[in-house]
């Protein structure tokens, strides 16, 4: 692993040129995949929705929860 870092330091060091807040977003768990996971949790247990507006409502609520969690961390 050390050899890999040493051999590729030129490319790896570009990461440090970004401001700290952007670097934090780069190396954290993929936020899009996390968001998709939250959406899957909501829809996984549902066989059907009573109306076409129901999934939209559910997705909105998931999005709001994710946004609130992100606000806590920043």
Query: What pLDDT digit, counting tens, does each position of 18-27 carry?
Result: 898 888 777 6
Instruction: Please tell me the distance from the alpha carbon of residue 67 to that of residue 74, in angstroms, as a whole number.
Output: 11
Is the model's pLDDT at 63 over the cut of 80? yes
DSSP 46: -
Is the model's pLDDT at 42 over the cut of 80? yes
Mean pLDDT of the residues in the chain: 83
Of residues 71 and 28, more confidently modeled: 71
pLDDT confidence of residue 28: 65
pTM of the model: 0.51
């Amino acid at each position: 692993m050390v050899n890999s870092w040493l051999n590729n330091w030129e490319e790896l060091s570009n990461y440090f040129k970004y401001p700290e807040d952007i670097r934090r977003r780069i190396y954290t768990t993929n936020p899009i995949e996390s968001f998709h996971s939250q959406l899957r949790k909501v829809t996984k247990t549902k066989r059907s929705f009573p109306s076409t507006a129901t999934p939209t409502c559910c997705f909105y609520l998931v999005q709001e929860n994710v946004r609130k969690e992100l606000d806590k961390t920043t």
